[in-house]
Amino acid sequence: MHRFFSFTAVIAALSLLAACGGGANMKAELDATKEKKAKMAVVSLTVSDFGKTLQHGNSEDVGSLITKKMDEMLGLTETAFGAKWTIVPAASIVAAEPYQKLAKSKAEGNVFAPKPAGAQMPIFAADRSDMVKTNLDPKMATDLCQALGVDLITVVYSEWTTQTGGIIPTTKAYAKTVVSVYDSQGRRLFKGRKDLQGNKTLGAMGFAKVDEESLNVWVGAFQNGLDMMLAEM
């Protein structure tokens, strides 16, 4: 029995070391792409008004307001990644047939996507669970890189809700943002997630006033999360 537990402990330790080594290897691979300013395309950016939390209690069409912000968020994302890689703008690829043919679904309902050059960026995840986790099938990642002629692709998902707390139950914006970077071999070189609260009080008791101006607080939380993850890459 003692030998069995010792053997199990050794296997567990080796597995942990392998996992840590794998993470280090992926970081080294990602660093190498930065050194040569590899070509990267942001292939998917989606925002979810989870449970229609933002729409709750608001008379304005929150979906339309979020849609208007999506191209701005794409620009923020491409600019941020452009500091480390050579960005192939989504506006130059979004209408390309090879790119669109690989799509699994499109943003609809309470999920929103940018429309650079007038065409909506599709979703390449197999299902909602994978979309939320920014998971891509390795072959999908490889096919996208080949279709677009890039070395890396980036997938971004941001879930927008509210958070209420404190002695006075004030309500603030809350953004959960997930980012994954894949290479042309289908390997995920980076995955990160940041859950951040906005810096302004937008309401109380679970209600947040949502309009074009207050949406900037969610956009700000998204951008802060993006910057934090980029600092880890």
Q: What is the pLDDT of residues 119-140, one digit of tens each?
A: 999 999 999 999 999 999 999 9
Q: Is the pLDDT of residue 164 over 60?
A: yes
pLDDT value of residue 150: 98
Gap between the terminal Cα atoms of the chain: 44
**Mean pLDDT calculated for residue range 97-106:** 97
Q: Is the pLDDT of residue 224 over 50?
A: yes
Q: Give the other-Cβ count within 10 Å of 128's Cβ.
A: 12
Which residues lie below 8 Å from residue 233, measured CB to CB, with a gap of 6+?
A: 30, 34, 84, 181, 190, 192
Predicted TM-score (pTM) of the model is: 0.87
**Mean pLDDT calculated for residue range 188-204:** 93
Q: What radius of gyration, in Å, describes the C-alpha atoms of the chain?
A: 20
Q: b/e per residue, 179-209, with b = 16+ CB within 10 A?
A: bbbbbbebebbbbbebebebeeebbeeeebe
Q: Is the pLDDT of residue 59 over 70?
A: yes
**DSSP-derived 3-state class of residue 124:** coil
**Mean pLDDT calculated for residue range 81-85:** 98
pLDDT value of residue 166: 74
Residue with the two structure tokens 């989606």 = 46
CATH number attached to the domain at 37-232:
3.40.50
pLDDT value of residue 22: 57
Q: Is the pLDDT of residue 42 over 50?
A: yes
